[in-house]
Structure formats: structure tokens, C-alpha cells
Structure 1
Amino acid sequence: MKEEKIIKRPDLEKGLIQVYTGSGKGKTTAALGLALRASGHGFKTFIVQFMKGNGYYGELFALQRLYPQIQIAQYGRNCPHDPMIRQGEMKCLGCMTCFVRKGEGTKQDLFMAQKALEKTKALLHSGEFDLVILDELSNAIYFELVSLEEALEVIEGKPDHVELVITGRNTPAEIIEKAHLVTEVNEVKHPYQIGVASRRGIEY
């Protein structure tokens, strides 16, 4: 019987801090693209999604095919219409029931944000992942689910061999100062301005 050759996972040369922020669409999409690129070189990625719990996002299904190279966990509110949207029987209505308003986070919202922070700390120091993406961390800070001090503690404790990516609007200046790469995605035009609603496979 032929033995399978074990391919050693490469070492990341140097782990930096990246930020994708701004009012435009595409921040999470950019981070997902980076995860895809990293997987092509044998690196492993874990994506922690703050304030997101909807099971109909297309990336959730796509990433199942790339497991265990890319793994993802959500820590946010779910949509009451999730099953029907996932099956394509209806579209996202933009009803905002799965979103948090500033200063109105519930105990459950705060609990999930803290769980996401705990997960992040464990991932960064596990030695298992080369790239850790904190999707919507900036928004979690803005919506007062995570304190700036807590976020900075995570960032400052990042091991040298791990690349850390933070996405979301309203990124605090203190985090931008810590980052090595900052990309601001600004909205110039968006289909919603002409009445085009979120589209399956494009916006979610």
C-alpha cells in the first residue's frame, strides 16, 4: 500500500495587521479573498464574524468546501427568515431585525461579542492558524459590544507569526495607528440608490 506524502504547512514569513474600513461595500469580500489566496499557499485561516449570525451568506457554503484550510464561526443575531432565504424561497428584506443599534445591544449581543473575543484569543495562540480575520470587529466596537481597550489588548497580544485582519466601518484611530496596512473602501455609487435590493450571491 502506497503511503501518502505528508506536506508540511509553510511558515508565514512575518505576520502583520491589516484593516479594511470605510463606508463602501467590499470589506468582508476583500478579507475573504485574502483567505482564499492564503489557502492556495497552504496557510490556514480562521474567520471570526462579530455581529453576524445569518446562515444564508454564500461564503458559509463555499467555505465548507475549503475546510479545514479555512474555518469560520459567527457570533451575532440570526435572521428570522434565515431558512427560507437560504433555500432561495425569499430574499433578504433588509428589515434590520438581525442588526444591533448603537447603545441598544442586549445581554445576548454582549455575551456573543465576548465569546468572539475569547475565541479570537484562543485562535491567535493556538499555533494552528496563520491568518485570523476579525470580521466586523470595528463595528462591534462602534456599537459598544466590545471596548476599544479589549480590542487593543487582542491586537497587542498577536504573535509575530499570525496575520491579523480587521474589517468594519468606523475603525478607531487607535487601531488604524497599530495597523501595518489600512484600506478605506468608500462608496461612490451603490445599486440601492436606484432601488435595487440585496441580491442572492452578490450582496449575500
Structure 2
Amino acid sequence: MVAQLETPRGNSTLSLPYNLEGLVQVFTSTHRNFFTGVMAQTLRIAGQGTPVLIVQFLKGGIRQGHDRPIQLGQNLDWIRCDLPRCIDTAQLDDVEAESLEKLWQHTQKVVCEGKYSLVVLDELSLAISFNLIPEAEVLAFLTKRPNYVDVILTGTEMPKSILDMADQITEIRRSHQP
């Protein structure tokens, strides 16, 4: 994971002797138990002064929509789908689909505005797999984001097109059978 301590914000005139280029990183596993490692790294990076956004697309239950982020310190915003339940199926009612769409639109907007230097898109691969967020939109988003923004995507079924675009792929697997 890249921690860029000197990150431009918005229309910054920060003059560095080198170009900052954000990475697309993928963390994937057949098991859904590796988010804590990614979260620990994001907390460390936010603690160093880098603005971080964590978006959990399939989690709900705690009224933590894009308009009510949990703020961990001054540099880390954490948002979820504003739903009373976690999404575990492709079948959503209209309210759930609208909530997920609002979260996705909000995420694209704030990232393109340059508000954050690191963005974690948790379980985005499953939202794509469930056909809740179009793969083509994700690819377009990754391409058009500000060039200094690092993006981490997590999930169990990452599409090949995203793996092909990624600068780094980390596959977490068990080394022994319990």
C-alpha cells in the first residue's frame, strides 16, 4: 500500500520534483475475512495525514450512509449503504437499489473532486458480480479518477478486467486447512 504523505488536495498548487501517480490495488480472497488487514493499513495512512475514504457497498445496519459518515480522526471518512441490512443477494427492492446507487454516485463524485488521496472500495467485486454496479462504470471511474488517488478494491470475485488494470494484486489464501 502506498502512503503519500504529501498529497495534493483539490486544486492544490503543490510543486513536487516528481509526479504522484496513484495505484489501483486489489485485495482478493475466497474467504471474506481479510478486511481488517486493509482497515489497519488505512488507519495508519490516515494517521500520517493522508485523507482516506472507506466505502462498504454491501454493509448496512447502522445508518451510516454517504450523508452520515463515521469520521475516524480528521482524515478518515467511512461510509456504507444506508440500509437496515447487509446486502447478500442480487435481489434488491427499490429502496435498497436507490440507496446503493446513491452511494456509488456519491463515491464517484467525491473521488473526482480530489477530496481523498486513498479510497477503499470494499466488496465492490461482489456488487459487480450481483450486477448492482456495472463493471464498465467501475472501469471508467478508475480511469478518470485524479492521477494521484490510490484506490484499493476488495472482494472475493474480482472481474478479470479490473485485475488486468490493477497495479498490484494481493491474493489472500489459507496456508493450511483448519
* TM band (smaller chain): 0.7 to 0.9
- Pair 1:143–1:189, CA change in 2 (3 A): farther
Q: Paired residue for 1:11?
A: 7
Structure 1 residues 95-134: aligned runs within 5 Å:
98-102=86-90, 104-134=91-121
> In the alignment, residue 18 of structure 1 is paired with which amino acid?
Q
RMSD of the TM alignment (CA)?
2.5
Q: C-alpha separation between the residues in 1 aligned to 2:165 and 2:56?
A: 21
- Pair 1:105–1:17, CA change in 2 (3 A): same
Q: C-alpha separation between the residues in 2 aligned to 1:189 and 1:142?
A: 28
> In the alignment, residue 75 of structure 2 is paired with which amino acid?
Q
Q: Paired residue for 2:39?
A: 32
Once the two structures are superposed, residues 12-62 of structure 1 have per-residue CA deviations (whole angstroms, 9 ceiling, x without a partner) of: 733100111121244322221221121232101011110111339xxxxxx
Q: Paired residue for 1:52?
A: 59
Q: Give the C-alpha shift of residue 183 in structure 1.
A: 1.0
> In the alignment, residue 75 of structure 1 is paired with which amino acid?
C
Q: C-alpha separation between the residues in 1 aligned to 2:110 and 2:41?
A: 18
For structure 2, the residue ranges without an aligned partner over 5 or more in a row are 9-19, 64-69
Indicate the structure (1 or 2) with the bigger Cα radius of gyration.
1
- Pair 1:153–1:32, CA change in 2 (3 A): same
Q: C-alpha separation between the residues in 2 aligned to 1:180 and 1:152?
A: 14
Q: Give the C-alpha shift of residue 152 in structure 1.
A: 1.0
Percent identical across equivalent pairs?
28
TM-score normalised to structure 2 length: 0.77
For structure 1, the residue ranges without an aligned partner over 5 or more in a row are 1-8, 57-62, 80-97, 194-204
Q: C-alpha separation between the residues in 1 aligned to 2:99 and 2:31?
A: 26
**Is the CA contact (8 Å cut-off) linking 1:20 and 1:168 kept in structure 2?**
yes
